[in-house]
Structure 1
């Protein structure tokens, strides 16, 4: 099966996904196989929260729309223009996917197939329905894809390389188990924001999107902010007020109550707006419903610290204060060429 044929399938999938939006899904006659898939996908989105309590319709629709935007032909062409995939020998690549946010493993799935390989997928129990549905749609566009896609509920077997995503603990297991195979092993990472106090209300409001999207469960969610001495946190709290409805979601509220109680019992000094606590802490990984902060006096020191800790960091958000940082509000809208852990997945797949 040729690459342009696979690309066509993913472009058609993007068109299919573009029909779905919170409170505004619209069926389009021009989309392939809508009669077979449209209503079922609507139902699956609405049922997603019963499969994973964090997958509210709002969050699933956001993920679906993000992929609809990404899978436009011009985006795929721009992404692949940097690679020569003409000499790839098809191999079977095992994927062990995370399930913290909806369709979090879809980029790996896309990368393996578009580069010419076969994919053997072990989904997370927390996100095992959405990606299988999208695979069925792709196969309906071109039945030749069926021989390239396999899902397994058991142990991965008969594969040539592996891409596995998990925690720091599971990564040690993966590194041992897959030591004889070419691999990408992903561990825990967190994202940070660097502020200098000149950010506009809109900047900080967009930072709220980076914090609260997917309830903060993704590695691209900002879990820590660096601020100058004497920073006025009231400005920050005013800007993120629009996200206050998050506290009405029971799972988030339970985490907020629990983590706040733990902090208070430990006599930690907190700032609190009744739906988010912020705490001074040198760690990068804050619990759900909390963001850590750290003061700085010299921006160059922060740049050096972030460079030294790069293996713990997924994204840096700032108003151009740090090289390669991304704008506020964009962490959960990565481009196809924005690779997890800054590891070029396509380059890896070229070499196996």
Structure 2
């Protein structure tokens, strides 16, 4: 199967995913395989919500739409044309997937396939409904995928390399279990935003997307703010208030109540708007329904602090972003070439 074959199939997959909408999905008669897979995908979207209390239709559809937007001819060309994959392939690559947000392991999945390898997938029990439908759809487009895609609920066995994503604790297990194999082992990371006080209401509203999308469960979600000394949070709270319906979600509300109670009993100084708690803290990973912040006086010194802690940071978000940063509202809309932990997955796969 050539790289052009893979591109063609992924473009078709992108068009298939585009059909699924928040209010009413619209079936396109020109999409291959719709008679078999359209209704099945709708069914699995509902099942995914049932099996994971953090998943809802809005977030699942958001994920599907982002992948649809990514899988275009232009994006696939920009992503893959700079690699030499002519001698890549033939190996079996295991993927241990996380389950914090819908289809969080999909980029690894397609990376293995376009690199010419076989993929052995061990999914998280929190996200097992959507990817098998997508895999079956690819097999419908090209039967050669049947020999290249396999799922397992058991321990990974008979593989040549592995990509595993988990917490810092599980990473230690992965490093021990997969020693001796080429691997990418991903640990906890969080994203931060730098505010200057010059942001507009629209800027801060977009930042709300970076904070609250997927309830803040993703590594690309902003979990900490850096603000100037004496920063007035009033404008920030007003701008993000449109996200207040989150408090009506039971799991989010339970986290909000619990964390607030713990902080108050510990007599921490808090800022609170009824659905988000702001706490001054040097850590990067804030609990759900909480957001840490620190003040800074010297932007250059802050830059040095972030560089020193780069292994803990997935995204740096700011208004005037450079090539290594992300602008407001874009953290959950990564490009195909925006690699997790800044580790080039295709480069890794091309050399195993």
What TM bracket, shorter-length normalisation?
over 0.9
Deviations 1:246-286 (A, max 9, x none): 11111111111111111111100000000000000000000
Asked whether the 8 Å contact 1:54–1:251 carries over to 2, the reply is: yes
* Structure 1 partner of 2:306: 306
Matches within 5 A, 1:203-242: 203-242=203-242
SS in 1 for 2:12: helix
SS in 2 for 1:338: coil
* Structure 1 partner of 2:11: 11
* Structure 1 partner of 2:315: 315
* Structure 1 partner of 2:186: 186
Matches within 5 A, 1:127-146: 127-146=127-146
Asked whether the 8 Å contact 1:194–1:321 carries over to 2, the reply is: no
Q: How many residues align?
A: 352
* Structure 1 partner of 2:79: 79
* Structure 1 partner of 2:244: 244
> Structure 1 length normalisation: TM-score?
0.99
* Structure 1 partner of 2:285: 285
In 2, the alpha carbon distance for the partners of 1:106 and 1:162 equals: 15
Q: CA deviation at 1:47?
A: 2.4
> Which stretches in structure 1 are left out of the alignment for 5+ residues?
none
Matches within 5 A, 1:335-350: 335-350=335-350
Deviations 1:220-245 (A, max 9, x none): 00000000001010010000011111
Q: CA deviation at 1:321?
A: 5.9
In 2, the alpha carbon distance for the partners of 1:2 and 1:240 equals: 46
Asked whether the 8 Å contact 1:221–1:331 carries over to 2, the reply is: yes
SS in 1 for 2:19: coil
> Which stretches in structure 2 are left out of the alignment for 5+ residues?
none
SS in 1 for 2:214: helix
> Structure 2 length normalisation: TM-score?
0.99
CA separation of 1:261 and 1:322: change in aligned 2, threshold 3 A: farther
Return 212-221 or 312-321, whichever deviates more: 312-321
Structure 1 runs (4+) deviating above 4 angstroms are none
In 2, the alpha carbon distance for the partners of 1:184 and 1:162 equals: 7
Asked whether 1:332 is paired with 2:332, we answer yes
Q: CA RMSD in A?
A: 0.9
Matches within 5 A, 1:254-269: 254-269=254-269
CA separation of 1:321 and 1:133: change in aligned 2, threshold 3 A: closer
